Chains A and B, each alone.
Chain A
Amino acid sequence: MRFKFLIPLSVFMLLLVLLGIGLTLDPREVPSPFIGKPAPAFSLPTVHAPEQVLTTGQFTGQVSLLNVWASWCVSCRQEHPLLLELARQGIVPIYGLNYKDDRDNALSWLARLGNPYQVSAFDADGRVGIDWGVYGVPETFVIDKKGVIRHKQTGPLTAEILKGKLLPLIRQLQGEPA
């Protein structure tokens, strides 16, 4: 009976530990169970044209990126210029997975900030996101020529990550036979 009054304190201690970890731990890669597995299949309408669909079949035969984004996502705005630059260089096709978004908002977001995507799939209820193990937005997947996920970046891309990790990996994958 007396213990129930200590519940708030214990919950707070837990929170404190968490904040402590946030303070000390260096962000590091955690392997995703999806790496090395074929990309989970989907067939979704595109953001620009509901009657057209994007399917996972389009990923085979070339190395491609799948970037999970949303117009409500603040961090996406941060990585957006990098994606635009990458798309301009034409090194690798970038596909978008528009996650739990509103079509109008997504369209005006692209119109306002620029569209780096070949095409963006419209995942309104986030079901495909679940299949792909999306924690949140943004995330970026590297998919090889066979349609297998080879790398996953959780959180926004930075110039260092792009130059140091993603681009070398993409070049290596582009050298592999299809």
Chain B
Amino acid sequence: MIAELGHIALIMGLMMALLQGTFPLAGAAKGVPLWMAIARPAGRAQCFFLLVSFLCLAASFAANDFSVLYVARNSNTALPLYYRLSAVWGAHEGSMLLWALILGFWTLAVTIFSRSLTEEFLARVLGIMGLISVGILLFILLTSNPFERLANPPVDGNDLNPLLQDIGMTIHPPMLYMGYVGLSVAFSFAVAALLGGSLDSAWARWSRPWTLVAWIFLTLGITLGSWWAYYELGWGGWWFWDPVENASFMPWLVATALIHSLAVTEKRGAFKAWTVLLAIFAFSLSLLGTFLVRSGVLTSVHAFASDPARGLFILLFLAIVIGGSLFLYGLRAPTIKDHVRYEFVSKENLLLLNNILLVTAAGSILLGTLYPLVLDALGLGKISVGPPYFSTVFAPLMAPVFLLAGIAPMFPWRQASLRKIFGRVEKLVILSFIMGVTSVAMFWSFRDIQTMAGITMAFWLAATAVYTFWSRASLRQGVLSGFRSQSLTVYGMTLAHIGLAVFLVGVTLSSRYSVEKTIRMALNETFVLADYRFTFRGVARIDGPNYTAERGDFEVQQDGERIVLRPEKRAYHVQRNTMTEAAIDAGPLRDLYVALGEPMDHGAWSVRLYYKPFMRWVWFGGLFMMAGGLLSVSDRRYRLAAKRAESWASAASPKVAG
């Protein structure tokens, strides 16, 4: 009964999405206020029905209703309730439903926080979001229905993939989807502006907070994902350049470019066409990413082709959404005019350069991700491009991005004097160079040029961020009032750029100075790794709810300090796979990481030991960037923007209808 209810609610959601996607758009084109007024209630109703549908699926999981095919495939009576609920998005059908629900949430948010928008503009934005939703819901209902029943239900379910039975994996997908789907708001704003012909700084001001929030979720989602990969996959790595990760990284890079470009459009009214294009790109990439991953087209073309209906549907959907918006862009963009002048040497151009670099980086990842697909499509077999390609292409593109992120905030808008700027940064360049080189030489190695370059760059980023902030604040009299006078956006930018520096330190040091050792350890044997004495104290057998595990006991000593690490090797009963649960002692300056390998003779085990310096900094960097985004988005200018935009809207009547 519950599953049928969920199914019906899903169909109702589709009906609401259809309403939301048709009448408001037509109303905006023809100027019928009543049709436009449908947008808000239809959007809210859609969200409500999707929530009901989602809760029905969750209830089926909670009640162990194995007559529902999706529940039978992904759950088990022995699975704890907590994981039974997160299993809702543990596989294809359910995660598509989550995707749709999150789009519903964003729609709801737009209906609530949109008082500053004109009726016409809001109708267009919600209409486009409705159309996207129609596509997704049709996809779910026609090809991936999670509510499908089984004629002969099994006694027990197939259990959730053990890799996903983990807290990190529980919150990671919803966060990532919040980011992916959140970019649909920026996309809808851009398309609505193209439709209405009203691309101006007010449009940029409206899109900016939405884009920032989506970017924050995306940052958090990626950070969580990489943290999860680090401790759950048991490899000690945190980024693998696999298609799933690339699918989230590409929209992040473009969204980062979009945030910066929106700032220029809002403050200076420049780059309008480019900003719109970026908004379209960002959402297109997240759609492409979601579907390439979801359809399995990247890991295997055969899985994709095994369900031709699904593949064809996806292709059609991409063609309509991305193709349609790019077509509209091709039609309307030539009419967009930037009436702003700026010199060659100016903040505008530096931000444009940063944009181009970020988009190129995203493009090169797209190329590397699709290259195996191209070969496969041409029948040349399935291959990996892998880190050699990505690190070769990516590093040279990112180095100038870091340089620019340091220097661009110091440039004034419109025109800048190179001599003045260089006069100001000269000391910072020398300072970061000396700090970078000497710190690496003192603590690590005299000849390690790569690490020196990385750390110098990190010092450069941090120093310029602090210096820029200081020079802005010190224009006022008194430090305190100077600090207070700065907008939260400035604080946010400073924090995010420092986050980039922190991230860079983590990446550089952990990749250059990690020590890894795979060894055989007998009972009570001691091994010394990077000054840490690891002693193996044996293995005990323990029972979990749906697995049994062998838990190793390791004592780690350094300078009288003593830690106990307990890595596990779990055997899950139902799916019969073994999972390595690494034990990690995390610290600000280093991570110690122990993973159990295979049992050997006489109670000995093969064991993997890692020492990873500054590992945490990678994720701290991500969190800093996220916090920077949060600060910017809570800037009161955006709350005031509501009032200003209203007066603007009444002053300038709608320019073009249709």
- Residues on A lying within 8 angstroms of B by beta carbon are 1-2, 5-6, 8-9, 12-13, 15-16, 18-30, 70, 72-76, 100, 104, 108, 111-112, 126, 135-139, 153-156
Contacts and interface: CB of A to CB of B under 8 A. Distances in A.
B251 to A, nearest CB: 16
B386 A16 contact: no
B235 to A, nearest CB: 9
A25 B334 contact: no
Contact of A111 (B281, B372, B518): B518
A12 B326 contact: yes
A136 B516 contact: no
Nearest to A20: B315
18 contacts: A5-B273, A8-B326, A9-B327, A12-B326, A21-B377, A22-B297, A72-B388, A73-B386, A74-B240, A74-B242, A74-B384, A75-B383, A135-B381, A135-B383, A136-B385, A137-B384, A137-B386, A156-B381
Given A8-B277, A72-B387, A74-B384, A19 B379 contact: no
B516 A75 contact: no
B311 interface: yes
A25 B516 contact: no
Interface string B321-351: 0110011011001100000000000000000
A9 B388 contact: no
Contact of B378 (A25, A73, A74, A75): A25
A17 B573 CA distance: 45
A104 to B, nearest CB: 7
Interface stretch (B300-308, B410-418, B650-658): B300-308
A72 B516 CA distance: 16
B382 interface: yes
Point out which of A2, A13, A27, A108 has the most chain B C-beta atoms below 10 A from its C-beta.
Answer: A27
Given A21-B377, A154-B383, A136 B372 contact: yes
Nearest to B392: A100
A156 B380 CA distance: 11
Contact of B597 (A12, A104, A112): A112
Given A72-B384, A137-B386, 12 more contacts: A5-B329, A5-B334, A8-B277, A21-B378, A24-B305, A30-B380, A70-B386, A72-B386, A74-B240, A74-B242, A126-B388, A154-B381
B338 to A, nearest CB: 14
A27 B304 CA distance: 13
Contacts of A25: 377-379
B380 A135 contact: yes
B528 interface: no
B379 A26 contact: yes
Contacts of A104: 516
Nearest to B297: A22
A9 B518 contact: no
A136 to B, nearest CB: 3
Interface residues of B, number: 49
A162 to B, nearest CB: 14
Given A22-B301, A75-B383, A27 B388 contact: no
Contact of B381 (A8, A18, A155): A155
A158 to B, nearest CB: 10
Nearest to A8: B326
B278 to A, nearest CB: 11
B312 interface: yes
A13 B330 CA distance: 13
B375 interface: yes
B333 to A, nearest CB: 4
Contacts of B380: 30, 135, 154-155
A154 B375 contact: yes
B557 to A, nearest CB: 25
B382 A156 contact: yes
Interface in B218-252: 240, 242
Interface of B: 240, 242, 273, 277, 280-281, 284, 297, 301-302, 304-305, 308, 311-312, 315, 318-319, 322-323, 326-327, 329-330, 333-334, 370-388, 516, 518, 597, 608
B383 A138 contact: yes
Contacts of B376: 22, 27, 155
Contact of B384 (A5, A8, A18, A76): A76
Given A18-B374, A29-B379, A30-B379, A136 B323 contact: no
B1 to A, nearest CB: 38
Nearest to A5: B333
Contacts of A18: 370, 373-374, 377
Contacts of B597: 112
B275 to A, nearest CB: 14
Contacts of B375: 135-136, 154
A108 B334 CA distance: 56
Contacts of A29: 379
B220 to A, nearest CB: 26
B318 A23 contact: no
A76 to B, nearest CB: 7
Contacts of B284: 12
A108 B384 contact: no
B236 to A, nearest CB: 10
A139 B378 contact: no
A14 B375 CA distance: 15
B315 A23 contact: yes
Nearest to A22: B377
Contact of B330 (A9, A26, A70, A72): A9
A8 B329 contact: yes
B381 A2 contact: no
A155 B382 CA distance: 4
A6 B384 contact: no
B318 A16 contact: yes
A154 B302 CA distance: 15
Contacts of A15: 370
Nearest to A32: B380
A26 B379 CA distance: 7
B308 A23 contact: yes
A75 B383 CA distance: 7
B314 to A, nearest CB: 9
Contacts of B319: 16
Contacts of B383: 75, 135-139, 154-155
Nearest to B333: A5
A3 to B, nearest CB: 9
A110 to B, nearest CB: 10
B576 to A, nearest CB: 16
A142 to B, nearest CB: 15
Point out which of A6, A136, A137 has the most chain B C-beta atoms below 10 A from its C-beta.
Answer: A136
Nearest to A77: B384
Given A12-B322, A136-B385, A19 B329 contact: no
A108 B515 CA distance: 12
Contacts of B330: 5-6, 8-9
Contacts of A136: 371-372, 375, 383-385
Contacts of A8: 277, 280-281, 326, 329-330
